[in-house]
Structure 1
């Protein structure tokens, strides 16, 4: 977990406290900042975020209902779900289909400011390890998916990333310590978007997803991923 100062900064933004906590935890899950099997207690999380326990409880209840977290220790805490091989294989297949479609639509529908944002994220310097690189990877993908202009696909993709995100560090480890090892595919995606080539954009996204997922399927989920 991040320290209290960092957590408070992450909770900045509009909306009630419980909604801001939900956004913060979703982001952490998608960027691999919470590990599979990690336990989150209401009281400890409230202390770290410097908020009362009630909005934390409400936020965690919502994320459990969305299956982004699961109840642990007899309702006294929640945990980040673990995946098994079968679930990971399902996730790979569904991600390739749904995110591939989003990339295809993005190639057809992007607006100039959206393409500029995608290009800017790709151009960012990455340290090659840890959460900054994971953050860039997640922001890059979601900038593309936002350019699809699809209000239906975005929530579906978010749900998929909540399940896969905790395994990003493991995928990065298997890729030689670089979560953004798919930059080759990222460049291909941007080139396809510039050309408004929907087929090429979809193919590059599918290849990017497949690279990370295949590493996990082939080499294993690590000690934290054996449950199921």
Structure 2
């Protein structure tokens, strides 16, 4: 079974970034955007074929993703899969995201510029347009861009790595939420309130709105898991 979504992440073979890093980023982005469904097995060769590379850089990328608990190796057949998500694990992810992401937003808010605010507004417009069309891929890309555009301003590499790892683990399950609820049933996010807080320089409100945004998104995942 192939994963056509992987071809959305073309590799630049002549780029200064190593092919190993490019393969890792392509697989990581595909997980964050839910292109590899939870519980579905996939082989190294399938991933290599989708990315049009040899198995060697894929093997190295997979090792990193296994260490980040975004993938697991099945002992019975040596194939890979996204780990299943228990309620206990989801609650841990929720707690961790609610701790680290509001802090990243708070730190990023202190370095915000008008140009970045414009880019955040554009991200949110793309997100809302995708929701109105039922475009799951477009929504997930725009939502990730919105969050990490702000987080990247924080200059807090440890927190940023933690947030990215948490998104790697939770991204595939957001796709499950869409499958069960559809895009039209999603509650209003807190992006608009967050943007207004950024414009007014209210850093504490930025932190609060991000905490609410993360909490409500994870609650949806919990409902979908229980359902």
TM-score band, normalised by shorter chain:
0.7 to 0.9
| SS of equivalent residue, structure 2 residue 154 | coil
Shift of 1:16: 2.0
Residue 216 (str. 1) matches residue 218 (str. 2): no
Structure 1 equivalent of residue 178 of structure 2: 172
Shift of 1:182: 5.4
Deviates more, 1:22-31 or 1:62-71: 62-71
Assess, with a 3 A threshold, how the Cα gap between structure 1 residues 205 and 11 changes in structure 2: closer, same or farther. Answer: same
- Note the 1:1-228 alignment, pairs <5 A: 1-2=3-4, 6-7=7-8, 9-12=9-12, 14-74=16-76, 76-124=78-126, 125-126=129-130, 127-173=133-179, 176-178=181-183, 181=186, 183-220=188-225
- CA-based RMSD of the aligned residues comes to 2.3
Q: Which runs of 4+ in 1 moved over 3 A?
A: 179-184
Assess, with a 3 A threshold, how the Cα gap between structure 1 residues 179 and 63 changes in structure 2: closer, same or farther. Answer: farther
Distance of 1:22 and 1:70 partners within structure 2: 15
- 5+ residue gaps, structure 2, are none
Shift of 1:183: 4.8
Is the CA contact 1:64–1:70 (under 8 Å) kept in the aligned structure 2? yes
Distance of 1:105 and 1:179 partners within structure 2: 32
Distance of 1:180 and 1:157 partners within structure 2: 26
1:154-187 CA-to-partner distances (Å, cap 9, x unmatched) read 111001101111111223345x412894554111
Shift of 1:24: 0.5
- 5+ residue gaps, structure 1, are 223-228
Deviates more, 1:117-126 or 1:81-90: 117-126
Is the CA contact 1:168–1:179 (under 8 Å) kept in the aligned structure 2? no
Q: TM-score, normalised by structure 2?
A: 0.86
| SS of equivalent residue, structure 1 residue 146 | helix
Is the CA contact 1:146–1:154 (under 8 Å) kept in the aligned structure 2? yes
Query: How many residues of Structure 1 are paired with residues of Structure 2 in the alignment?
Result: 219
Distance of 1:66 and 1:151 partners within structure 2: 16
Distance of 1:142 and 1:180 partners within structure 2: 24
Assess, with a 3 A threshold, how the Cα gap between structure 1 residues 107 and 39 changes in structure 2: closer, same or farther. Answer: same
Q: TM-score, normalised by structure 1?
A: 0.86
Assess, with a 3 A threshold, how the Cα gap between structure 1 residues 18 and 173 changes in structure 2: closer, same or farther. Answer: same
Is the CA contact 1:100–1:205 (under 8 Å) kept in the aligned structure 2? yes
